[in-house]
Amino acid sequence: MIRKARNLPLEQLVCLDSQRRIEILSENVVRVVFTGGMEEEPSAAVTGAAETVPGLNVRLENGRLRIQTGRLQILADETFHIDFFTADGRPLSEEYRKMRIPPYREPSSAEEFASWEGHEQPVSRENANWRFQCVRKLYDNDCIYGLGDKTGFLNKRGYAYEMWNTDNADPHEDNFRALYKSMPFFTVLGDAGAYGIFFDNHRRTFFDMGKENDGYYAFGSDEGVLDYYFIYGPTLPEILERYTALTGRMPLPPLWALGYHQSRWGYETEDEIRSIAETMRSCRVPCDCIHFDIDYMDHFKVFTWNQERYRDGKKLLADLKQDGFKAVAIIDPGVKAQPGYRVFDEGETNGYFAATPSGETYVNAVWPGDAAFPDFGNPDVRAWWGDQHRFLINMGIDGVWDDMNEPASFHGPLPDEIVFSDEERRVTHAEIHNIYGHNMTRSTYEGWKRLSGKRPFVLTRACYCGSQRYTAAWTGDNHSIWSHLRLGVVQLCNLGLSGMAFCGTDVGGFGSDTTPELLTRWVQVGCFSPFFRNHSAKGTKNQEPWRFGEPTLTINRKYVELRYRWIPYLYDQFRLASLKGWPVMRPLAFHYPSDPEARQINDAFLLGENVLVSPVLEQGARKKLVYLPEGVWYDYWTGAREEGSRWLVREAPLDVCPVYIRSGTILPTWPVRQWIDPALETELVLEVFGPNASCVHYQDGGERFDYENGAFNLYRFRTDERGTVSTERENCGCEPYRTVTTGRIVL
């Protein structure tokens, strides 16, 4: 089977032989395939089609193939080494043609001792080469971003990683090779511009981003085929746009999902949930959603309700709704293997569970004890599982949190040979492991949409490239430690650059015990994160906003309220993510690629293009060293005008998170509410920063898909030198604001 790109015009398909081909998908996107004689597998990620490339020029030149699009020059030699140049001939990315030179030595006796002590040993030279690989030069100034939720710094140069969805409960450290997500897509920002590489192989793949040698990076695998997309920019926004044209974009989520979510694994009874909801309101910390972790289920059986502890669920959820709360329920893939339990029986009868090679339902253990694993690669299973959500919808649940879908299992990992489906093909666990979570969220999203007609809210722990079409993601089980507050900023920036715009961390930290100071600093990051949820583990210190008294409560409220005032600005960024695939939370390099300082910043980020957040991430710190990129910036709190391209020291007492607004910005805001209700928002207030400012603002009903048929308003606001606003309406598809007024003007 050859899995040629959709709509690929024949003249854009360049085959060197039956195993090697280059597909020119557009002027900027080129696909390279080397099968090595192996069968090609269907892609779980790619939904986009090829475009015609006018003026494409392919010719043979001194035994080399020269391909020219209007934007790229591609040179392929007889050994299928491929180099990419800009249209004017500057090298973007060249294949590294020498042998890889791993610096690893034979273990010396000292290393042998170290290994007795339990230290991990470097990979031997033999292991460092995979069955197939692509090795490409690293130029001096190249920075690498992306690769999903991996640990380490923002710039992935120097690290080695593995794509194998992994639930590791140890505190995530910089030396981890794998975490929950497999997103084999990265961007390289260099002197000639930026390009992206999407290695579309969902098997276990390896990435050495200049760890073994600073002169090159390598990616490869022992399984599947070499199949990668070279995506030219030259800017990061253009790469993200092209990458998500290929792998899909986030549809708009329900607006309430942008609010503050309160969660804890450990709300064990109805009374506890009610008291959390009541205290949220009496403390006046805005909140849109309460999450129901595994205890709401009857013996951890999915799609059931624990009536002993949570009594009349419909009544509870209806009461919460009265008070403005949505509810999200956790769902694990593991189905309790218990004859007589409806979901298990239906799955058994229809052969919907993964099986052993001899054809029996495969059983491992998760929360309910012995459990079977739905075969989400099978379209019938996806439809069936999707239908199960009717139970939650009828109860009054508003969204789904898909956990444990790496898949995690308590009795050792699933053996490689367990039998699953990949659409119509029979495959092994080894082949589909990395897309198990992806297929689960697809089933959940499609089912929820079909049943409710509303925009689904799905949250996942495991995913693959393209999962942004179905789900938001959180970074899994972090700990209440300062290093994880810092790590979270980087993970969210890199997830955004991997196409996953709607993402967040467990604010306050999941495992271990938070402190008032850590929670406070974490809320100051969380309120600017695309997904904003406070979540913690059973047995840890409770960390709801009021648990530590004052001043923690007041500071929590200050930042959650800021989030609510900024919902219109935030939603505008979500719209851009759904239209162009741009991250909501962005590293500085996204907009300042040629600024060497901006390229390496790990402790600050941009929200959209116009807001720079430089949070305090150190215990005890009361000042922050802030880097402002070029241009003029306004201190959000004081209105002070600051010149960019320099570092400054900002006073940052506990209640201050340094925030700067780019000159030329109009921030659309709403009044503070205790929860989001777009029907109430009849007045838009504009905050103006600097002269000649502008913004495009989007408004819709926030719940349904009617926006796809034009049921939205688009406003273009502009100011002159003195801050006087003029308005143009570009689309009038729903009830507009009654008034648009100017609040703060900072000039």
CB of 294 or CB of 335, closer to ligand MIG: 294
Closest to ligand MIG by CB, 477 or 561 = 477
293 contributes a contact to ligand MIG by CB under 6 A = yes
Q: Lay out the site mask for ligand MIG across 239-268 (x = CB under 6 A, - = otherwise).
A: --------------------------x---
Q: How far apart are CA 508 and CA 478, in angstroms?
A: 9
477 touches ligand MIG (CB under 6 A): yes
Long-range contacts of 450-453 (CB under 8 A, 24+ apart): 450/386, 451/386, 451/387, 451/389, 451/390, 451/393, 452/393, 453/704, 453/705
> CA 709, 712, 713: angle at the middle one, nearest 5?
140
What tokens were used for 71?
């934007």
The answer to whether 462 contacts ligand MIG (rule: CB under 6 A) is: no
| Residue from the set 242, 389, 461, 557 that interacts with ligand MIG by CB under 6 A | 461
* Minimal distance, residue 530 CB to ligand MIG, in Å: 18
**Residue 444 · residue 386 · CB < 8 Å:** yes
Is residue 406 a contact residue for ligand MIG (CB under 6 A)? Answer: no
How far are the Cα atoms of 10, 570, 672 from residue 152, in angstroms, in the given order? 43, 27, 37
Residue 385: Cβ within 10 Å count: 28
In the range 494-533, which residues lie near ligand MIG by CB under 6 A? 510
Tell me the per-residue interface mask from 59 to 88 with ligand MIG, x by CB under 6 A, - otherwise: ------------------------------
Q: Least distance to ligand MIG from the beta carbon of 112, Å?
A: 36
Q: Is 294 in the site for ligand MIG (CB under 6 A)?
A: yes
Nearest approach, Cβ of residue 412 and ligand MIG (Å): 15
- Residue closer to ligand MIG by CB (options 249, 461) is 461
Smallest distance from ligand MIG to CB 333, Å: 12
Our CB check for ligand MIG shows the closer of 86 and 542 to be 542
Of residues 684 through 723, those in contact with ligand MIG by CB under 6 A are none
Q: Judged by CB under 6 A, which of 142, 403, 561, 635 binds ligand MIG? A: 403
Element (H, E) at 275: helix 270-283
How far is it, in rounded angstroms, from Cα 717 to Cα 689? 13
- Cα Rg of the chain (Å, integer): 26
Question: Does residue 149 touch ligand MIG according to CB under 6 A?
Answer: no
309: helix, strand or coil: helix
In the complex, least distance from residue 265 CB atom to ligand MIG, rounded to whole angstroms = 3
The answer to whether the CB of 682 falls within 8 A of the CB of 668 is no
Collapsing DSSP to helix, strand or coil, 227 comes out as strand
Active site residues: 403, 406, 477
Could you tell me which of 478, 514, 582 has the C-alpha nearest to residue 236? 582
Tokens, residue 345: 């029986």
CB of 264 to ligand MIG, least distance (A): 8
Least distance to ligand MIG from the beta carbon of 537, Å?
6
| Bond from prior residue into 668 cis (ω within 30 degrees of 0) | no
- Looking at the Cβ atoms of 291 and 382, the one nearer to ligand MIG is 291
Site for ligand MIG, residues 606 to 635, rule: CB under 6 A: none
Residue placing its CB nearer to ligand MIG in the complex, 530 or 723: 530
In the complex, minimum distance from the CB of residue 170 to ligand MIG, in angstroms, rounded to a whole number: 13
- CB atoms closer than 10 angstroms to residue 340: 6
Other C-beta atoms closer than 10 Å to the C-beta of 487 total 25
What letter represents residue 257's amino acid?
A
Site string for ligand MIG, 532-551 (x = CB under 6 A): ---x----------------
Choose between 466 and 476: whose C-beta lies nearer to ligand MIG: 476
Tell me: does residue 479 bind ligand MIG (CB under 6 A): no
660 closest CA partner among 642, 640, 633: 633
Q: How far is the CB of 183 from ligand MIG (least distance, A)?
A: 18
Phi, psi angle pair for 232, to nearest 5°: -80, 150
| DSSP-assigned letters across all residues of 621-648 | --EEEEEE-SSEEEETTT--EEESSEEE
Given a contact cutoff of 8 angstroms between Cβ atoms, the answer to whether 477 and 510 are in contact is: yes
Nearest of 464, 559, 385 to residue 43 by alpha carbon: 464
Shortest distance, position 477 Cβ to ligand MIG, whole Å: 5
Residue 232 contacts ligand MIG per CB under 6 A: no
Q: How many residues of this chain bind ligand MIG (CB under 6 A)?
A: 11
User: Least distance (Å) from ligand MIG to the CB of residue 464?
Assistant: 18
Dihedral angle computed from the Cα positions of residues 433, 434, 439 and 442, in that order, rounded to the nearest 10 degrees: 160
CA–CA separation, 410 vs 368, rounded Å?
A: 11
Q: Choose between 462 and 560: whose C-beta lies nearer to ligand MIG.
A: 462
The Cα–Cα gap between 156 and 363 comes to 38
Distance CA 10, CA 7 (A): 9
CA distance to 6, 303, 380, 522, per residue, from 372 (Å): 36, 15, 17, 37
Question: Cα–chain-centroid distance for residue 742?
Answer: 34
Q: Which of 476, 488, 511, 702 binds ligand MIG (CB under 6 A)?
A: 476
Residue 347, CB-side half-sphere exposure with 13 Å CA sphere: 34
Q: How far is the CB of 674 from ligand MIG (least distance, A)?
A: 25
User: Of the two residues 159 and 265, which places its CB atom closer to ligand MIG in the complex?
Assistant: 265
* Residue 330 found at the interface with ligand MIG (CB under 6 A): yes
Cis peptide before 9 (omega within 30 of 0): no
Provide the minimum distance between the beta carbon of 410 and ligand MIG in the complex, in angstroms, as a whole number: 8
Q: Of 158 and 171, which CB lies nearer to ligand MIG in the complex structure? A: 171
Q: Which residue, 526 or 644, has its beta carbon nearer to ligand MIG?
A: 526
Position of minimal CB gap to ligand MIG: 265
Q: 3-state class of 187 per DSSP?
A: strand
What are the angstrom distances between the C-alpha of 343 and each of 351, 384, 444? Answer: 12, 10, 15
Kindly state the DSSP code that residue 285 receives in the 8-state scheme.
-
Given CA atoms 374, 380, 383, 384 in this order, what sign does their dihedral have?
negative
For residues 77 and 52, the answer to whether their CB atoms sit within 8 Å is no
Please give the Cα distance from 124 to 31 (Å, whole number): 32
Nearest Cα residue to 193 out of 84, 315, 58: 84
Q: Which residue, 515 or 534, is less far from ligand MIG as judged by CB?
A: 534
Phi, psi of 567 (to 5 degrees): -50, -40
User: Residue 422: which H helix or E strand, with range?
Assistant: strand 419-422
Measured from the CB atom, the residue of 293 and 544 that comes closer to ligand MIG is 293
Binding site for ligand MIG (CB under 6 A): 265, 293-294, 330, 403-404, 461, 476-477, 510, 535
